[in-house]
Chain A
Amino acid sequence: DQQVKQNSPSLSVQEGRISILNCDYTNSMFDYFLWYKKYPAEGPTFLISISSIKDKNEDGRFTVFLNKSAKHLSLHIVPSQPGDSAVYFCAARDHTYSSNTGKLIFGQGTTLQVKP
């Protein structure tokens, strides 16, 4: 059972435009959501997170929106740059697993290509 889903395997946008990456989840016990960026043959790097009690968090060009009623979150990148081209993973923490260990559940990832 895929608790975190990224239904778009790939996304292509023009440099300077907005990139919107989407993520859906099913577990209402998730209390934190995170976005990671991953280049090939490298480990993921943390981008931005949001608590389940908020609906928006912004950090520079990156903004994450959370719609709890729809169990949906999205990552907006504005303006998109060629260096943003990577795989983006949505992840969620299930606090019922253990608040000490903080297990994360990842989506399948979306490959973003930003064209110059």
Chain B
Amino acid sequence: GAVVSQHPSWVICKSGTSVKIECRSLDFQATTMFWYRQFPKQSLMLMATSNEGSKATYEQGVEKDKFLINHASLTLSTLTVTSAHPEDSSFYICSARDLGTGTHYEQYFGPGTRLTVT
């Protein structure tokens, strides 16, 4: 149980285009999902907290107009990188909390999406 999927697993796009990354909880409902970014050999940096049916909460320094987050259902959150630039190239990971069976602090992570902007 508690499986989180991400799609796509990797994507290459041209500078100036937009890319959408999907995060799904496959066997549980998640009212809260988190989006992280990881640079090579660095920690997971929380970008935003995605709440079903409401606006996402962004961390300081994260541009909300550039990283659009939508959490339209209890099993799906999307991250859209708008007008992508090479500096947006990174590994993006989502996580979700299983309110049904999980603890109130444990998060289940997706496999991540490797974004390369050329």
Chain A residues with CB under 8 Å of chain B are 9, 31-32, 34, 36, 41-46, 49, 89, 93, 99-109
Contact = CB atoms under 8 A, between A and B. Distances in A.
B44 A89 contact: yes
Interface string B95-113: 1010000011111111110
Given A34-B105, A89-B44, A93-B105, A100 B112 contact: no
Contacts of B46: 103-105
Contact of A89 (B43, B51, B103): B43
B107 to A, nearest CB: 6
Interface size class of B (residues with CB under 8 A): 20 to 34
Contacts of A105: 46
Determine the main DSSP class of B at the interface with A: strand
Given A100-B32, A102-B97, A103-B49, A43 B110 contact: yes
A104 B107 contact: yes
B93 interface: yes
Contacts of B45: 106
A49 B106 contact: yes
A104 B59 CA distance: 12
A46 B104 contact: no
Given A34-B105, A102-B32, A102-B97, A44 B44 contact: yes
A46 B49 contact: no
Contacts of A31: 105
Contacts of A44: 44, 93, 109
B111 A49 contact: no
A42 B111 CA distance: 4
12 contacts: A9-B41, A41-B9, A42-B112, A43-B93, A46-B108, A49-B106, A89-B44, A102-B104, A103-B34, A104-B34, A104-B105, A107-B43
